Amino acid sequence: MAFQMNFSKEELTGAPPIPAGKYTLQLKGFKPKASALKPGETESGSVNLNPELVVVNHPDYDGRRVFWGMNSKAAFLWTDFVHACGLAMEVVQNEFAGTAKEQYTIPGVFEGSDDPTKKPEDWKYLGPLTNKTLDVEVAEIPAGPDKGGVYRQAKNDIRQFFCAVQNCTDKHSTNMIR
């Protein structure tokens, strides 16, 4: 049997980014993953929820994936994401509920996330965010060295989420790309 050894540029580097602009995305699910270890760390310091977001209702780019890591160290952006899905953040039912110190999380549960023997990769999201659509502004990041000097291919990122919660008075970021 012969194996393919010659590849197009797209096969080698992935499809080029979609043009910057406003898109409607649909959340297909989450692929949580512990973030990579930093030098000196023996345990991952955060988790990326990795929502699987695909373009919908678009004549040219239906089905294209748009990556957004959704790291727990940047949870201040989670409200923007959840509101774009038309939902509110959920109050965690713990000892702080109903007090000034009450805590919030995304609606739904990650089954397995309270079991320390389970890796984020084994968590299963069950909740109302699945299959929700959301409007976002997609940015196109040109190829070039990143902050660490490593050369990166051109890629997309999400600049902002558009809130879909009626009468929302929360302040949302209009540029998440730094």
Alpha-carbon distance of 71 to 176, in angstroms, equals 13
When the beta carbons of 56 and 165 are compared against Zn ion, the nearer one is 165
Should residue 83 be labelled a site residue for Zn ion when binding is judged by CB under 5 A?
A: yes
When the beta carbons of 8 and 167 are compared against Zn ion, the nearer one is 167
- The answer to whether 37 and 175 have CB atoms below 8 angstroms apart is no
Should residue 165 be labelled a site residue for Zn ion when binding is judged by CB under 5 A?
A: yes
Among residue numbers 35 through 74, which ones bind Zn ion (CB under 5 A)?
A: none
Q: Which of 102, 170, 173, 177 binds Zn ion (CB under 5 A)?
A: 170
Residue 171 CB: number of other CB atoms within 10 A?
A: 9
Applying CB under 5 A, which part among 28-36, 50-58, 66-74, 165-173 lies near Zn ion?
165-173
Closest to 90 measured CA to CA, from 124, 127, 64: 127
Footprint of Zn ion on this chain (CB under 5 A)? Answer: 83, 163, 165, 168, 170
